[in-house]
């Protein structure tokens, strides 16, 4: 990828995540970059293509970052999930519901691609996490790892539904914390529960 394409994608993502995929125009992106719209179209033939490449770039960047966290294995499995959550929310500017909703509504094919990438990566990530948690005695050893990985993914997708979880009532960062605690309380051992209680008490305070 050329340096100018990288700059276009970085600037576009900043606008998309702040204002929404539908709301941002090519004129606004060109203006923010200090370039003509003609130059912008030289690198991306239309807005849909820019949305697609930007979304895939962000998804891959987040997935690579999560892999780095998981592969380091310098935290216990419970703390690891909270570190992953913080990393993801940081790169999605703390509130991913509105941009994801617009992507799903106005760019369904792009959303479909991103969803497939997310599922494949998240399934692998959660399987590794659960396997390690079981080995360390933090998660129960009688759980179905495949089921846990899939039900976790479904839940993560479900809490992004604005009609069920309106952001005015359920701020995204708090909602993610609530869901993560809900997920973990279903699989932890008494030893794991002590660690989880310590984390959640710190977060609440």
Rounded to two decimals, the pTM is 0.85
Cβ–Cβ under 8 Å, residues 11 and 33: yes
Give residue 25's region: left, alpha or beta (phi > 0; psi -120 to 50).
beta
Mean pLDDT value across the chain: 91
- 181 burial class (0-12, 13-18, 19+ CB within 10 angstroms)? middle
Q: How many residues does the chain have?
A: 205
| Rounded-to-integer distance, Cα 49 and Cα 157, Å | 24
Contacts for 103-107 with beta carbons within 8 Å, 24 or more apart?
103/21, 103/51, 103/55, 105/22, 106/21, 106/22, 107/21, 107/48, 107/51, 107/52, 107/55
The predicted structure's pLDDT at residue 137:
97
Looking up tokens 């100018």, which residue turns up?
4
Q: How far apart are CA 128 and CA 126, in angstroms?
A: 5
Contacting residues for 68 by C-beta, under 8 A, at least 6 apart: none
Residue pair 75/138 in contact (Cβ under 8 Å)? The answer is no
Q: Is 189 left (phi over 0), alpha (psi -120 to 50) or beta?
A: beta
pLDDT band, very low/low/confident/very high, at 98 (cuts 50, 70, 90): low
Residue ranges of domains in the chain, CATH in brackets: 47-204 (1.10.357.10)
What 3-state class would DSSP assign to 188?
A: strand
DSSP secondary structure letters along 63-100: HHHHHHHHHH--S-HHHHHHHHHHHHHHHTTT--HHHH
pLDDT band at 95 (very low <50, low <70, confident <90, very high): low
More confident of the two residues 205 and 33: 33
In which band, very low, low, confident or very high, does the pLDDT at 96 lie, cut at 50, 70 and 90?
low
Report pLDDT digits (tens) over 30-64.
Answer: 999 999 999 999 999 999 999 999 999 999 999 99
- Residue 93: the pLDDT is 66
- Please give the pLDDT value at position 204: 67
Q: Using alpha carbons, select from 52, 45, 43, 49 the residue that is nearest to residue 6.
A: 43
pLDDT level of residue 114 (50, 70, 90 thresholds): very high
The predicted pLDDT at position 161 comes to 85
């Amino acid at each position: 990828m050329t340096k100018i394409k990288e700059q276009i994608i970085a600037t576009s993502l900043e606008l998309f995540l702040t204002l929404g995929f539908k709301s941002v125009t090519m004129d606004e992106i060109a203006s923010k970059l200090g370039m003509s719209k003609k130059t912008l179209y030289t690198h991306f033939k239309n807005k849909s293509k820019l949305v697609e490449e930007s979304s895939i770039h962000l998804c891959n960047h987040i997935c690579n970052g999560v892999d780095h966290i998981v592969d380091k294995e310098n935290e216990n499995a419970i703390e690891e999930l909270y570190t992953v959550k913080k990393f993801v929310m940081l790169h999605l500017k703390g509130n991913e519901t509105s941009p994801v909703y617009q992507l799903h509504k106005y760019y369904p094919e792009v959303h479909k691609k991103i969803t497939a990438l997310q599922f494949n990566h998240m399934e692998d990530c959660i399987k590794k996490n659960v396997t390690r948690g079981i080995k360390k005695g933090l998660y129960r050893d009688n759980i179905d790892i495949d089921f846990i990985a899939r039900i976790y993914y479904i839940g993560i997708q479900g809490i992004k539904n604005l009609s069920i979880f309106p952001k005015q009532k359920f701020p995204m960062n708090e909602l993610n914390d609530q869901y993560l605690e809900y997920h973990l309380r279903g699989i932890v051992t008494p030893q794991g529960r002590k660690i989880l209680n310590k984390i959640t008490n710190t977060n609440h305070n």
